[in-house]
Every structure is written in C-alpha cells, then in structure tokens.
Amino acid sequence: MLNSTLIGTIEKAKRYAEEPDRRIVFHAFRVTVEGDNHEHQVDFDGGAWSCDCETFDRDGYCPHTMTMERVLGDMITPVPIVEDQA
C-alpha cells in the first residue's frame, strides 16, 4: 500500500506535468539523435542550439536540431539569431 506522502508526491508530479508551459524551463541539455548514417550530439544551452554535424557548422541549423525543436515544441524558447549589423 502506498503511504500518503508518496501519493501526494505523485499527485503533485501529475499536476506539474499537466502545466509544462508554466512549470518547466529548459536551460541546457544534451541529446543524441540517431541520423541515417551517424549519431549526432545536439546541445541546447542558454537558448541556443548546436550540433556536431557539418550541416550545422555550415548553416547554423540542421535536421538534428530541427528534430528536437519539433519533439519539444513550445517547451523550448530559443534565442533569436541576431545577424551582424556591420
């Protein structure tokens, strides 16, 4: 039988999970995305994405970061890219 403290903890976790836009803010994380040919390391830190693939190095975005944006949807708020004004 579950004790009342555990039951309360589970109920609180369910409530928090139902309100992710109000309760959860991602600051940084690292995931591995399995590409067609290789695994790629994707990082999110301080609102900015990065990936170890050549496409990201060249273009600043790639299918691996875009995959994570789709998976996480509105839970992630990336920092807007500001181009040099020079």
Please give the mean pLDDT across all residues of the chain.
89
State residue 73's pLDDT score: 86
DSSP-assigned letter for residue 33: E
Q: Two tokens at 27?
A: 């600051």
Measure the CA–CA gap between 21 and 29, rounded to whole angstroms: 17
* Contact between residue 55 and residue 63 where contact means Cβ atoms under 8 Å apart: yes
Whether residue 20 is predicted with pLDDT greater than 60 in this model: the reply is: yes
Residue 44's H or E segment, with its range, is strand 39-45
Residue 81 vs residue 68, higher pLDDT: 68
pLDDT tens string 49-72: 999 999 999 999 999 999 999 999
**The dihedral formed by the CA atoms of 53, 54, 56 and 62, expressed in degrees to the nearest 10:** -70
State residue 84's pLDDT score: 62
Measure the CA–CA gap between 55 and 68, rounded to whole angstroms: 15
State residue 70's pLDDT score: 94
